[in-house]
Amino acid sequence: MSKTYQVEWTSNAKKDLLNIVGYIKKENVSAARDVYERIKEKARSSNMFPLRGRVVPELQKEGITIYREMIAHPWRVIYKIENETVYIMAVFDSRQNVEELLLQKLLKGRLSFDNN
CA angle, 89 as apex, 84 and 91 as ends, to 5°? Answer: 130
Look at residue 47 in the predicted model and tell me its pLDDT: 84
Total domains present in the chain:
1
Torsion angle, alpha carbons of 17, 20, 22, 25, to 10: -120
The answer to whether residues 91 and 14 touch, using CB atoms and an 8 Å cutoff, is no
Domain assignment of residue 98, yes or no: yes
Residue-number span of the structural domain to which 43 is assigned: 6-107
Domain assignment of residue 73, yes or no: yes
Domain assignment of residue 115, yes or no: no
Pure H helices in the chain: 11-25, 29-44, 57-60, 98-107
Domain assignment of residue 46, yes or no: yes
In the chain, the amino acid numbered 36 is Y
Q: What is the pTM of this model?
A: 0.84
Domain assignment of residue 50, yes or no: yes
Domain assignment of residue 57, yes or no: yes
Residue by residue, pLDDT tens for the chain (116 residues) are 468 899 999 999 999 999 999 999 999 999 999 999 999 999 998 888 888 899 999 888 888 899 999 999 999 999 999 999 999 999 988 888 777 777 777 666 655 544 44
Domain assignment of residue 25, yes or no: yes
Domain of residue 71, CATH code: 3.30.2310.20
